[in-house]
Structures are given as C-alpha cells and as structure tokens.
Amino acid sequence: MITETMYELPLVSADLRAKILAAPRTTDAHRDLFEQTDAMHFAQAGGKATEEVLPSPLTIAAWNVERCLFPKETADKLRAEGVDIVLLSEVDHGMARTGQRHMTEEVAAHLGMAYIYGVEFFELGLGSPTEREFCEDTENARGWHGNAILSAVPFNRVALVRLDDHGHWFSTEFGADPGQPRIGGRMALLAEVETEHGPICIVSTHLESNSNEAHRAAQFNILMDAIDDFAPDLPAVIGGDLNTGNHMPPDFKWQSESLFENARDRGYHWDGTAEGMTTRPSLITRHPDRTMKLDWFACRSLTAQSSRIVSSMNGEVPLSDHDLIVMECVRE
C-alpha cells in the first residue's frame, strides 16, 4: 500500500524508455522495470476542494471515461448529476491522443474538486488505430493512463494499492501486443473523506479485462484486504469498471463472476448498482461486438437510497464507451 503523494509525478527518463523497449517480454523483466518506474510508487494529489464536509445522502459517480477526450463536457455531465464524489478510470495524463493534457486535473478544475490520481500504465505507444487519429504528436509527453478520485471536500488520508505486477500488458506469456509496450498493471485508489455522519472510505478501481473471472476475483480479494487494512472500521464504497463478463463469449454473462459472492461474504452489497448494461459505441470503440455490464458499486455499512445509469451521449457525441453510474447513499 502506497500512502505518499506528490504534486508532480516523476517523468520516465530516456534511458529507462530505452530499457523498456529493449527488454525481453517476460514477467521478471516487467517486475524489474516496474520497480524502476518512479511514477508507479506515488499517488498524485491536486485540485482544490470547495466544501468542508459531505452531505447526507451523498451522491457518488463512477465512470470509465475512455481516455477522457472531452474533459469539460465530462465535467458538465457529472455536475448535472449533483455529484459529491467522482470515481474515474481510464484517464490520460500526458498522452498524445488527448493532446498531452492532464485530464483528471481539468475535470477537477471544472467541478471545483480536489483529486488524487494514480498511474495504471506507462504507455510508450500511441494506442489503437482509432486512437492514433486523435494524435498530433508522434510521442507521448508522459505516457500515463490511470484512475482517479475527485472530491468536493479535502481528503483525510489516501492510498494507492497495486492489484498485480506481473505485466499482463507487457509479457508475451499473457498475449501482450509487442507493438504496444506498457509498464504497470491494475490498481485502486483509496481515500477517507468526511461526511455529516462521520468519515467513510471511497475506492476507485479498474479490474483486468484481458483475463478470466478467477483472476478478477483474486484482484478484488486483494482490494478488500487493502480496505480492511486502510479503513477497518469505516463504511466503504468501491466503484469502477470491474470488467465483469469480459472475455466470456459468446454471451459475456457477468453473473458467473465469483467476486460478487466473495464480496457478500465479507459484508459488501451491490444494491447501489442500477440494472442495465453500461457500454456503448464511442469515437474510439466504434463497432463493439457486444454490450456488457461492467460498472458497479459495492458498499459496506452504507445504504443505497437510489441508483441510475446515465447515458454518456452529449448530444450526438458519445463521451465514452461506458455510461456513467450514479448512486445516492447514507452511512448506516
């Protein structure tokens, strides 16, 4: 568990970039390179909170923003839902496909919120063929892609938890694309914030897509263990893209994922997740071959009063290939 934060994350040196490109695509090589990538070992903190304590009920949103091509429009969509806490995944920072901008910082500024950001992957490539259409530069300035928590109130404490380090998107042992080298792996951000009825723990995460339900269940177990260490006596909410049913053709049934029952056995419920699928075609994912339910809230000692799925369409433009999920909840 990483509890140190920085205002600016350390850049990856040219020497380390060269090492990554020349390294064998193995798990051992990835772990060595991962340790040398300083940005993986801190969370970034920034923005400015505008409130002192969160209301009850509390409105929480979780959204896989698919790189966040449209930060202002993304913020406008969130503001319209009256959110107090935002859990983001797949957010770019210093990527050519999003103009080398810090998308979390921009969304937080539009909303008047503080943020923490954690790097999931350091990417040397420019992305998929559709992503390359958005690139004006031939290299990424930073190459970071990760998760974030935005909050209307200051954070009491924060932590970053790594869910794997074996190089699922680097090592050819796991079918990684040799033309898209990435260092990193799935992770979660944890934070303690104040509400009118006492502190709670909020968690933003993103589980593995290119794997099976046993792998995702193991990642979720690691996450629940980390929450027990970080906030053993606090109510908690986990929100994000859990990739449930992904890579389970032909029907992609999320119901077969064992993480749901594992979480119930440890005191969590899923009542804050509205019924319905959460993916759609987008400017990047233009022709998906299925619609899936990937995005969830898991709650402990919190009562969900209402929940909804909000379309990511902004007029005729999709802001993401995921719709936004929103929940109102109160501390038990």
Contacts of 221 (CB under 8 A, 6+ apart): 259, 262
Other beta carbons within 10 angstroms of residue 38's beta carbon come to 14
Model confidence at 248: pLDDT above 80: no
What single-letter amino acid sits at 94? G
Q: What is the mean pLDDT of the chain?
A: 95
Maximum separation of any 2 CA atoms in the chain, in Å: 53
Classify residue 266 as exposed, middle or buried by CB count within 10 Å of its CB (0-12, 13-18, 19+): middle
- pLDDT tens per residue, range 181-219: 899 999 999 999 999 999 999 999 999 998 899 999 999
Contacts of 194 (CB under 8 A, 6+ apart): 52, 53, 54, 153, 156
Element (H, E) at 67: strand 58-67
Q: pTM to 2 decimals?
A: 0.96
Q: How far apart are the first and last CA of the chain?
A: 27
CA atoms of 230 and 227, how far apart (whole Å): 5
Helices 103-111 and 71-80 pack at an angle, to 10 degrees, of 40
- pLDDT tens per residue, range 19-38: 999 999 999 999 999 999 99
What number is the average pLDDT over the span 277-291?
Answer: 92
Domain boundaries, the chain: 5-331
Alpha-carbon Rg for the chain in angstroms: 18
- Confidence tier at 288 by pLDDT (50, 70, 90): confident
The reported pLDDT for the residue numbered 234 is 97
CA atoms of 99 and 292, how far apart (whole Å): 29
Give the residue among 176, 169, 204 at the shortest CA–CA distance from 89: 204
Contacts of 332 (CB under 8 A, 6+ apart): 235, 301, 302, 303
- pLDDT tens per residue, range 93-126: 999 999 999 999 999 999 999 999 999 999 999 8
Helix or strand or coil: residue 249? coil
Tokens representing residue 117 in the block: 């950001």
Q: Among positive and negative, which fits the CA dihedral 264, 277, 175, 128?
A: negative
What number is the average pLDDT over the span 134-158?
Answer: 96
What are residue 134's phi and psi, to 5 degrees? -90, -5
User: Which CATH number, 3.60.10.10, 1.20.1250.20, 3.40.50.620, 2.130.10.10, labels domain 5-331?
Assistant: 3.60.10.10
